[in-house]
Every structure is written in structure tokens, then in C-alpha cells.
Amino acid sequence: MRASIAIVAGFLLTALFSLSSGARDTWPTPPAADIPPPQVSGPLQGGTADHTKFDQLKGPFSSGPEVTVACLGCHTETGDHFMRNIHWTWSYTNEETGQQLGKRYLINNFCTNSRGNEGMCAQCHAGYGWKDESFDFTDETNIDCLVCHETTGTYYKTPNSAGNAACSVMFEGKPPIDLAAVAQSVTLPQRANCGACHFNGGGGDNVKHGDLSSALKSPPRTLDVHMGVDGLNFACTACHITNRHVWAGSRYQVVSKDTEGTGKPGQRTDVATCESCHGLSPHPVDSLAGFKLNDHVQSIACQTCHIPEIARGGVATVVDWDWRTAGKTKDGEGYHEEGYIQGNGNHRYTYKSIKGNFTYDEEFPPAYGWFDGQMLYTTIDTQFDPQAESIEINGFTGSREDPKSRIWPFKRMHTWQPYDKGNGTLVYTHLWGEDDAAYWGNYDMGKSIAKGMADFGLPYSGEFGFIQTISWWPITHMVAPKEQALGCGDCHTPQDSRLQFVEGVYMPGRDHNRWLDIIGTLLVAGTLGGILIHGLVRFFSPSHGSKGEHH
């Protein structure tokens, strides 16, 4: 019986697979362009001003804030709008959980925490001069317009405070910035603008996300069908559409299942979902495969099939970080080691005295799980069992029974990081600074933690250890061409199914239930038998072949 079931299932999957491949080959695809067109930035196309013609932008400028004053002289309401978005506040309160989130407060399992280390970390704040708690979030002249809008590629930011000599040396010797030229180059944000920070989250190229790397500055369509320069050439803002400088899309509260799809012209600018452009039935129903694929949309996120691998494009991502090994020196000085050559041929550090050991991976399959869009964070205020084997930095929720849940792909990040062994909490570490408590200089973790916690009035037992932490990163970028999307056989198979660890759902081909298999086989056999008998009856009926008669 098992053999017959396998034969029937194999026949059906092969037929469906063939139909699927055939259907995909007929899907419309954008033509490759000989000359890359301008990046597409959503509804704000074309522009209405040539900024090289503005006297206000011809300078000279001695500082970035002076450029901001010139920008705000024309864009009079922009400051008020911008100061409400998360790129400025670094703060987000989850209305469902009540958790205080945002870079300003959270702990991650990469460089651990920006709070207390703003002198270094706030290089990626869209403002000028945030180095401690005294930063004025109400002063719109502190906004950095250039980091998002300049297009010369010569603009850069450095730490807002000097830091220890062991680290500050990395930022010495940079060429001066021609602020007038930079100011006159402004346009809608390009991929390189967003990527200056988002490609380098976690402390380096593609370190954190796995699906955001420098490879997306000028990617081929084979790396991302939306951003490919030989395809649609989307800028990030084509999907992350802005409304008064507030962008669609949030990693703190993901829209895991869009039930509205496309809206009327001019609508649906509040989300950055696949469905907002492709609709709720994105596959053409011209075959059995198209029908089944659209049926899958109810329970499978588009990204699950269309992003088959993480860290494509030649840039690896960090999948394991071990802070336990940080702090080793040679002749009293910190050092680093190269031990990994990634796909594009560049070397990556596998050890740094200031951070410990790293493990990289690229072009590897995601982890999968039911996801309702809700991430639950372990914050500085969260207490846990100090003897726990591991904790989740940002666990996610969802189930087969939850109508908001679908199966999503994730990058899984594993880290050994410091924690308060006595109180069972994570800790703020004081990494960057000019004082003698900064870890990136003295390599004394205990001293660093004591300072990091005391600065914000947080309890610390005085005893630290290292605990395993896991973080999960929903994968949404590096969408592969349809030809590289997962096929039926990648999941509906008893061996090495992509979804082998996804629970709560019966998957034909992956799972076996004796009675369900028997009933299914009988239904299929009965259907085929009925078709065969009907055909034979028609073939041998007396009227078969008679002219002028129809049945």
C-alpha cells in the first residue's frame, strides 16, 4: 500500500511540478535594459526642482547643520515631520505588548546595545551630534538631510565622540567633504543612501540581516528582481513608501499576512507587503499549478518560496558570535584575524579583540516558522532564569490556527553574550568612550557592565556570565527570479523538506497518515477511474463518430 501511495503521490507531484515550471516560464518578466534607468522611488517620480540652481545650496558650509538650515528654509514643514519617524527617535512603543522598543533602548546579540554607546552607534542616527543623553531631539537643525539624500557618494559620517585610541584610529585620514557639492546633489533616497546604515547593521556589511548587503547597491536582477539594475531598478522607497517622512514597513510589528491586497490608485501606501502590489492572488490562474500556488498564499508568505537562500550576492552574513573570546591581546594590544573569504573574494574578520569570534555563512536556506507579525523582545527590564540554557532576544509568535499567521523565512542568529548572572537580566555594556571603563580600550568586561548599568540607574549584581542568545530576522529582501523560486518538491518530500520542522499542518509528500493516505488514494483512483470509464463509454457508444451529433 505504501508503495502504491508513493507512486500516485509521485505522479501527482511530477505533474504539478511540470505544470508549475511551464506556468512560470510564461510569466511576464521585465526586459533587461542596456543602460540602467534611474532608480524608481515610488510615487514621487521626476522631481520638481534642480538643486544645483538654488543659491542657498552653493555654500560655503562649514558644517552639516548649516546645510540643514538651508534645506529647511524651503522645506519648511519637513523638520516637524521628520522628528516623528523612527530614524530620528530610535524609539517605538508596541501598542499590543506595551514593550518599549527601538534602538535607543534595546539589546541585540551583535554589538549588544547602542544605549550608552551613542558616540559610536549614532553614526547611523539621521542627525548630528548624538553622543549622550543630552542630545536635543526637539532641535530640527540637528537633522541630517544629507545622509538620506546626497548622491555624490563622498559624504560620510564619523563617531560623535572620540572614543578610545584603539578604535578611533579607524576613522582617521578621511578626505574632507565638499558640503556645497554634496548639498546640490540631493535627490530622492537611493539604495546607497539607505544602505549606508541598513547594509551595515550589526557592525559590518550584511552582518545583521542576511538579506541586506552592499551587493544591493547595484544588483543584477538575478539577485533581486525588484532592485536589479537590469530589471525594475527599485529604490528602497519604491516599497517603503513615505508619508511625511514616515516610512511603510516595520521590523517591530510586521504585517505577516496582508488581507487587503492592492488598493485603488493612490491607496495602500501604509504597508510594504508583497500583496500591496501583487494582490491576494498573485499567480496567473492558467493552470492547476497557478491555482494551487494562489491557494498557498493563505498560509505561506511570498518570501518563503521566492527567497530560497540567505546572503546571496557574494556577501556573507554572521550567524554566530562569541563574546566569551573577546579581550585577548598581543603585547598588550588588541588585534584581529581574517579567516573567511566570501563569495565576492573579500576577506572577513573571524576574530577581533574588541568583539570576539564570528562565524559566517552565505547562500544558505532560511529557518521557517509560523509568524503572526508579533516579535517579543527580551529587553533590559526582562528577568529570566539565570540558569537557562538560552534565551530569545526577539522571539516570534504564530500558529496554524491563528488566521494572521503564515509560514515565514527567518535568519537565525546565535550568540554568547554577557548577562547579569545574579539578577537574570541582560546588561548594557559600555563599549565606546574615552574613559577607562570603556571595553574597547581596557578589555575589562566587568568594569564595562558596571559602568553601562550605573549610567542608567539599572540594578547590577556585580556578577556577570555569558549566556546563549537567539535572535530571529524575518527575510524580505533579495527576492530571486521566479525561475529560482522553490518548487513543490522542495517542501512536499519526505526527505530534507524545507518545512520539515514546521508543525501544525499536514503536508502531502512530507507527512504520512495511514487512513488519510488510503482515503486520498481512493479518491484519486476513483477520479481517474471515472474519467477512464467515461471516456470508454463515449468511445464505444453507438453515436461515437456520427456526424452532426454533439454530447
**Cis ω on the peptide bond leading into residue 60 (within 30° of 0)?**
yes
Closest CA to 446 of 430, 433, 467, 459: 430
CA dist 216 and 227 (Å) reads 7
Task: Fill in the amino acid letter for 544.
Answer: H
In the chain, helix, strand, coil percent, each to 5?
30, 15, 55
Task: Fill in the amino acid letter for 93.
Answer: T
User: Helix count (H) and strand count (E) of the chain?
Assistant: 16, 14
Q: Are 148 and 135 in contact (CB under 8 A)?
A: no
Q: Which DSSP symbol is given to 38?
A: P
Q: Please, what is the end-to-end C-alpha distance for the chain in angstroms? A: 38
Within 10 Å of residue 540's Cβ, how many Cβ atoms? 8
List beta partners, residue 392: 470
Residue with cell 509528500: 509
Say what the pLDDT of residue 167 is: 80
CB hemisphere CA count around 470 (13 angstroms): 14
CA dist 526 and 14 (Å) reads 20
Cα angle value 335/338/340 (rounded, 5°): 155
Q: Are 473 and 411 in contact (CB under 8 A)?
A: yes
Say what the pLDDT of residue 459 is: 98
Instruction: Name the phi and psi angles at 395, rounded to 5.
Output: -70, 160
Report how far apart, in Å, the C-alpha atoms of 420 and of each of 323, 395, 426 are: 14, 20, 6
CA dist 65 and 236 (Å) reads 25
Name the pairing type of β-strands 464-474 and 390-396. parallel
Residue with cell 509560514: 407
Within 10 Å of residue 218's Cβ, how many Cβ atoms? 14
Task: Fill in the amino acid letter for 29.
Answer: T
Q: Is 231 helix (H, G, I), strand (E, B) or coil?
A: coil
**Cis ω on the peptide bond leading into residue 31 (within 30° of 0)?**
no
List beta partners, residue 419: 426, 465
Name the pairing type of β-strands 317-322 and 406-420. parallel
Residue count of the chain: 551
Exposure string of 505-538, with b = 16+ CB inside 10 Å and e = fewer, is eeebbbeeeeeebeebbeeeeeeeeeeeeeeeee
Q: Are 408 and 301 in contact (CB under 8 A)?
A: yes
Q: Is 204 helix (H, G, I), strand (E, B) or coil?
A: coil
CA 466 to chain centre: 27
* Sequence-separated (6 or more) residues with CB below 8 Å from residue 376: 97, 99, 392, 394, 395, 396, 397
pLDDT (tens, 9 = 90+) of the chain, 551 residues, equals 444 444 444 444 444 444 344 333 333 344 444 566 788 876 666 678 899 999 999 999 999 999 999 999 999 999 999 999 999 999 999 988 899 999 999 999 999 999 999 999 999 999 999 999 999 999 999 999 999 999 999 999 999 999 988 787 888 888 999 999 999 999 999 999 999 999 999 999 999 999 999 999 999 999 999 999 998 999 999 999 888 898 888 888 888 898 888 876 666 667 789 998 899 999 998 888 888 899 999 999 999 999 999 999 999 999 999 999 999 999 999 999 999 999 999 999 999 999 999 999 999 999 999 999 999 999 999 999 999 999 999 999 999 999 999 999 999 999 999 999 999 999 999 999 999 999 999 999 999 999 999 999 999 999 999 999 999 999 999 999 999 999 999 999 999 999 999 999 888 889 888 888 788 788 888 888 888 888 888 888 876 555 444 44
Instruction: Name the phi and psi angles at 336, rounded to 5.
Output: -140, 160
Residue with cell 547611523: 124
DSSP labels, 270-335: S---SHHHH-SS-S--SSHHHHHHHHHTTTB-HHHHH--SBS-SS--EEEEEEGGGTT--BTTB--
